[in-house]
A and B are shown apart, each in its own frame.
Chain A
Amino acid sequence: MFYQLINFGNEEFHAYPDKSLYWKRLNTLIVSDLHIGKSISYAKNKQFLPPYDTKEILNKIFVSLDKIKPSNLIIVGDLLHDVFSTLSLKDQDHKNLSQYMKNTDFIWIKGNHDENIQIEGFKNLTNYKIDKFLFTHIPIKTSLFQICGHYHPKVKISHRGKTIFKTCFVHNEKIFILPSFGILTGGLDIHSKQISDVLDKNNLSIYPVGQDKVYKL
């Protein structure tokens, strides 16, 4: 799998088309907004989405872990969609997770969707700091470099008379926002008010995610 090289806070990161981010120096894989169990929480409102999202998200994570073999996995919030989500985790899923946790440290940061949910064997944190980097679901006021999720960024690209929307990685000098790693998750335009309120438009670096490649604009 090809990756796109990204320099953020003077460190080397690799953005992968599966929407994960790899921090080379610390051998750390970063993902965000998995929204595991979104389908089951919709089902309680009688919107019956295909119940395969949990299985697919976990597979995607496992494939990535097998390949990269990171020492740490940081989940920047919204691992779970809501309290019903744990219903979609089967015994086998729990077993697989414990297996992977033997070789990789899972660091689960709370998001707005899952701040009050517990999974056995998992600890969840409000945020997590390494060196001058802060991992947090939603950016806060700080002088640190922040790596966040929450917004599911997408970018509108108009070129030669065509317009497309693409999921993207995006950062400015101090804030990095990851795309959603989930399967049934939508997205938000990076120029929408919600995003531009936290990520001012100056010096934006945008990396749209293609089929097998992350591009750079």
Chain B
Amino acid sequence: MNINKSNPLLLHPLNKWMKKKKWSWFPHQIETFHYVRTGSDVVVFAPTGAGKTLTGFINPIDDLIKLKKFKGLHTLYISPLKSLANDIVRNLEKPIKELDLNISFQVRTGDTTPYIKQKQKQKPPNILITTPESLALLNSYENAKEFFHNLKYIIIDEIHTFLDNKRADLLSLNIERLQTFSPNLQRIGLSATLKNKQDAKKWLCRKKPKIVSYENSVLPKIKILESKERIPWSGHMATYSINEIYKEIMKSKLTIIFVNTRAQAEYMFKNLWLINKKKLKIAVHHGSLEKNLRLKVENNLSKGLVDCVVATSSLELGLDYGDVEKIIQVGAPKGINRLLQRVGRSNHNLNTPSKAILVPTNRFEFIEAKAAIEEIKKNNLDKIDLKEGSFDVVAQHIFATACAGQFNINDLYKEIIKAYPYKKLKLNDFKQLINLIQDGGYVLKNYDQFKRIFQLRENKNIYKLVNKRETRKYRMNVGTIIENPMLKIKLGTKTLGNIEEVFIQNLSQGDSFIFAGQVLEFQSMKNNLVQVKRSKSLISKIPSYSGGRMPLSTNLANSVRALLAKSNMWDLYPEQITQWLKRQKNISKIPKKDEYLVEQFPRKKNFYTVIYTFAGWHANQTLGFLLLRGFKEFNYKPLGFVANDYAIVLWSLKEAKEIKTILNLGLLDKHLDNYLEETSIVKRLFRDNAIISCLIERRLPGMEKTGKQVLFSSDLIYTVLKKNEPDHILLKSSYEDAKKNMIDYDRLREILKKIDKKIIFKKLTSISPLAVPIILEINRENLSKKETDEYILEDLENEILKEANVLSIN
């Protein structure tokens, strides 16, 4: 690199260390240093390996050295993961120790011992590395203002992971609180490359906002596995390619195999071991495994002690595993950003390209993999949509504020609406949230004598916590991540990890299942512990986790549609894919990239309607339900539907002749409420809302309540509330959440708005090639929980009656 004499970083305290390492400063580091020094809030976009962490610390270190023996907290560094926070400390330690700089730094997360936490409060380090939840906790202490009043910088790492969820809402509120405590505070965001950089800037920056961006010119080398085997029509387990995947592992020094769900991880891991003749060291890593097991795998990975790790998104973020040579992505990529993030795990070096192989598990996934490669070549990333902040997070923040001391609601409101997600928060909604924290916020005033916060008599705008005991409750319930009820798995006295309670309930004693790569036999369940022993059984179940489904990004979906329509490309595909598409073209039609193909055909006495929306599973699932309603109205006697990322299929006793009339925006407006009502979506989100807003307490280890009971009682609360006070703020909040997240409301709305002009209708005499994959997925029930329960009881009773009859005849 050309040494620029005007580079101000040449005078930086770290320059000596950089020189010793024979490293030079990146342009984005120089730029960031300049902007921050002249008072800007900055978001830095750079790929991994481009010294991102250091970029964040350049100004704080410079400032700390200039200030000489600064006492107290100077810089706060927010990391999305606890494990990443520890990694940051290790990276920061090197230059500071080697240069013998007089700067103190420490980490503070949920894993920090109470003793160290206490010491940190009395004598804070100059630099504190922490998580959004720990920051929220710090802000809830009475001395928060003194603790933070000299804070100069806040650095948000991996800011792209914080933009579109409730954690982001929580973080944004707490950043505004810090700004109130220390008006001179400057914000620095560090992000992977993003399409809508402006949105990230809007979310974070207030003072002279600036974007600094460093684009990597070395494109990753990504290809699709060239398989001699037949790619299956349907399915998600890639069993067909297991031998070829194994060969790829053998070719590289260190490989990470990414899959999309925990179930896939267990399955892939088991199948690799079945054919592991060379005794390769293969490990598995996913979020449900016990922390120690995960740490062991991570440790072995960074030391290069394994040959291959099968992982879910648990290994996606941040951590630097220098020796990884190759990434294998099994299953559809689902999004460009996600794929890039995963691919970037290999060759953590800027100038050599990352290497990756994609393994589609079915034919549609082949097209999707191809499309993803095309988009990466064009550097066309996914957009991260900013969302309006959720109400329940504000409620939690109000509680936290009350824990820190009495507060003026007008000041608090003004502070909250400075946070980007809450710019549009209405005063009226805010007041309802105050009431929610005060006494549940019900119209029926039954709890006047039991309030949690109360107005001062002399000033009605000032609220105060009723007693100190409540602060403990807040601290037990802080955060926005609500897991499904989980149980610990014990093999002997050793804990293997956590498993969903629902899965265990469906097991009987003696059943075997695969977990942490082992076949285990279910023995008993006591006090939330699942006791297992090793099993040699060949038939075993694989636990599924309800959070498993990843949404298909709109960007990638559009690209899939465009690619499908490009028939001049088909000859480059494997023979079977080419044949599949050509036959579709002859028998039916291939939709153009802005068209919606609708096929109808008779099959086994029923009529089938297939609609290719490419809208992602969430939107398709919703649309399927709405169409079911529409079909009922037209008396087509619908029997069921199945949705996947690409299409929906409905089957009915009568032919759905008016499909064009039914498919429009009216369908959404008319039946959506009904949909939310009948499926348990809002009810489930209500549970999260009730816990996040601290209306009910979350389950913590050692509490005698099982997860089932918490879920159960939040269901009861929902039902009672819905009936008696349908306008309650928490119901409104749950409904908004449902519209935002679960059903891809906006995406569906966009499609239905224009669909009537874009429908290509094909009446066929039998199933089309394109419809085969989704028809094969028909085996699930699509009844609401309420209906399912009645159905099970009815069916069981009938069976018993039949049995009784048989007995009496005999």
Q: A48-B442, A50-B440, A158-B506 are in contact. Are A183 and B470 (CB under 8 A)?
A: no
Tell me, yes or no, whether A63 is within 8 Å of chain B by CB.
Answer: no
Q: Is the Cβ of A43 less than 8 Å from the Cβ of B447?
A: yes
Q: Measured between C-beta atoms, what is the minimum distance from B416 to chain A in Å?
A: 22
**Range for the number of chain B residues in contact with chain A:** 35 or more
How many angstroms from the CA of A158 to the CA of B72 in the assembled complex? 60
Tell me, yes or no, whether A95 is within 8 Å of chain B by CB.
Answer: no
How many angstroms from the CA of A165 to the CA of B793 in the assembled complex? 11
Q: Is the Cβ of B790 less than 8 Å from the Cβ of A40?
A: no
Q: Is the Cβ of B444 less than 8 Å from the Cβ of A51?
A: yes
Give the secondary structure class of B's interface: helix
Residues of chain A with a CB closer than 8 A to B724's CB: 50, 52, 55-56
Tell me, yes or no, whether A215 is within 8 Å of chain B by CB.
Answer: yes
Q: Is the Cβ of B696 less than 8 Å from the Cβ of A166?
A: no
Q: Measured between C-beta atoms, what is the minimum distance from B485 to chain A in Å?
A: 13
Q: A49-B440, A217-B796 are in contact. Are A186 and B789 (CB under 8 A)?
A: no
Q: Is the Cβ of B446 less than 8 Å from the Cβ of A183?
A: no
Tell me, yes or no, whether A39 is within 8 Å of chain B by CB.
Answer: yes
Residues of chain B with a CB closer than 8 A to A48's CB: 436, 439-442, 447, 450, 452, 695
Residues of chain B with a CB closer than 8 A to A53's CB: 720
Tell me, yes or no, whether B26 is within 8 Å of chain A by CB.
Answer: no
Q: Is the Cβ of A162 less than 8 Å from the Cβ of B440?
A: no
Most B Cβ at <10 Å: residue of A43, A56, A157: A43
Tell me, yes or no, whether B713 is within 8 Å of chain A by CB.
Answer: yes
Which chain A residues numbered 182 to 214 have a C-beta less than 8 Å away from chain B?
183-184, 186-187, 208, 210-211
Q: Which of B444, B452, B695, B793 contacts A215 (CB 8 A)?
A: B793
> Of all chain B residues, which has the CB nearest A158?
B506
How many angstroms from the CA of A213 to the CA of B328 in the assembled complex? 54
Q: A157-B792, A186-B712 are in contact. Are A217 and B800 (CB under 8 A)?
A: yes
> Of all chain B residues, which has the CB nearest A54?
B446
Residues of chain A with a CB closer than 8 A to B792's CB: 157, 159-160, 162, 164
Q: Is the Cβ of A186 less than 8 Å from the Cβ of B713?
A: yes
Give the total of A residues in contact with B, Cβ under 8 Å: 37
Q: A43-B440, A48-B695 are in contact. Are A162 and B788 (CB under 8 A)?
A: yes
Q: Is the Cβ of B696 less than 8 Å from the Cβ of A47?
A: yes
Residues of chain B with a CB closer than 8 A to A55's CB: 724
Residues of chain A with a CB closer than 8 A to B712's CB: 165, 186-187
Q: Is the Cβ of B789 less than 8 Å from the Cβ of A166?
A: yes
Residues of chain B with a CB closer than 8 A to A87's CB: 446
Q: A166-B793, A217-B796 are in contact. Are A186 and B717 (CB under 8 A)?
A: no
Q: Which of B725, B786, B797 contacts A211 (CB 8 A)?
A: B786
Q: Is the Cβ of B796 less than 8 Å from the Cβ of A159?
A: yes
> Of all chain A residues, which has the CB nearest B469?
A46
Q: Is the Cβ of A46 less than 8 Å from the Cβ of B470?
A: yes
Q: Is the Cβ of B725 less than 8 Å from the Cβ of A50?
A: yes
How many angstroms from the CA of A157 to the CA of B799 in the assembled complex? 14
Which residues of B line the A interface, CB within 8 A? 436, 439-442, 444, 446-447, 450, 452, 470, 473, 502, 505-506, 508, 695-697, 708-709, 712-713, 716-717, 720-721, 723-725, 728, 786, 788-790, 792-797, 800
Which residues of A line the B interface, CB within 8 A? 39-40, 43-44, 46-53, 55-56, 87-88, 156-166, 183-184, 186-187, 208, 210-211, 215-217
- Listed from nearest, the 6 A-B pairs whose CB atoms lie closest are A48-B440, A51-B446, A52-B724, A43-B450, A43-B447, A50-B721
The 15 listed contacts between A and B (C-beta, < 8 Å) are A39-B446, A43-B440, A48-B452, A49-B696, A50-B440, A50-B717, A50-B720, A50-B725, A51-B447, A55-B724, A158-B505, A158-B506, A184-B720, A186-B713, A208-B793
